[in-house]
Structure 1
């Protein structure tokens, strides 16, 4: 990779003394260029800064980015503008790379937010100042702001790759997890739950006056956490007070929480260690302390 550039300096001067690119991939439609000239005339200055390379050998100051702004400033009659100036030697390859990157890496507008901001402009003059063309404006008319409210969320896609051994263990864990839920034909047909998910999101958004679906989903998860104990229906017969199936059950469904205070956890751990030392609980199965505490130590619960 090429060496890092020195930070560019802010320089002011006559835009007519700058050298424009002979070959510029970025073009500006005539109507937009006229609007740019009009905006600069109205402002009396440039409100965005061109990038200029000062070639020490020739003495020329070459505009790498901002050629249209520079031309518009000249046409608007400005005799002095500011620009960012690079003085490091720049091979031709790097000049082109800088030019193209400034043209290409320009970001994209969130249509919902763009529509919301545009509609705040009450004056026709300010709307014209934005230079949004008919194509963009027609798209804005079709935008449903509420449906696109999350378009600006940062997100990352995570891919988990399982090696053969890990895949077997993951499949076994998933099969075990399925056993903790009550039988439901919709488990394997996720599309049938689509409406339920949307209804849950809508109800949550209405209840908390939330516009963001991701935030509403967080509330749903928090509500789920508060009702962990209700998942006992998947393995416990409350009327008979016995297990309704074989296998295992998540311990959090017993207590209704995933965590307990450290002081309580330390006391529980000490009690388990005492039971192990006394031989009442097998060393490799500390959870059997629950049998002792429940008064079921004499029963055979093995399967």
Structure 2
């Protein structure tokens, strides 16, 4: 059995003087790391201490546990942090055992208690601070997301899971928005749009007190649907009554709705058929009936 360690001492210093592990089994997805940096910036300090071994032979202080906290503290601009330091000689086997035990033996949350405590947080900001996600809160029964190794990448991935009917609504909403510009099926957005999207999701969650990201997005889409007509600003100058560009415009942005009552649709369809038979509008361009309507009411 391994000998007892001497109690570590609490030491403060510049995190930049510490040596990080070359091989670290613990990974942290980019989004989690960014949240850790944000939390440290907000607190102005580390609220949990890394474990450091003072290797006197190499004159290095090696971080055995807390590598991500140390890196985040550096990125957050902290000049000093506190850590627990072991000064006695440590064989390589003991170093690895300490590292792996700190990563693996971390306890588990009782789901019911965790959910109860989380729901006590009324502020969206504090909910985000916890770093808990849908999977942790058991709001999604199954999440299949490929593990992300640590890398300093200038992008972040956002994934949503939809039921079939929700997916169709999402496609329709994004199709209407995308009609104003070109985009592909992946719905790619600029990095500078990432934070506003998160803000919108968090506002939706707070307003309806929900935790599921897909449900929150559904709320955003519902609000979007109620404001379809405002997308006309992409092609219509309300002051002059003239188009702002060439091309086509979605009918939803003309009428502000996707659907009309079947009685209205039937009456319009019948009127179009009559005008096509009379030769008033071309058979291949039934939408020209709108031109006829516009001319008939233009002063």
Q: TM-score, with normalisation over the residues of structure 1?
A: 0.46
Give 1 or 2 for the bigger CA radius of gyration: 1
Higher relative contact order (CA 8 A, sep 6+): 2
Q: TM-score, with normalisation over the residues of structure 2?
A: 0.46
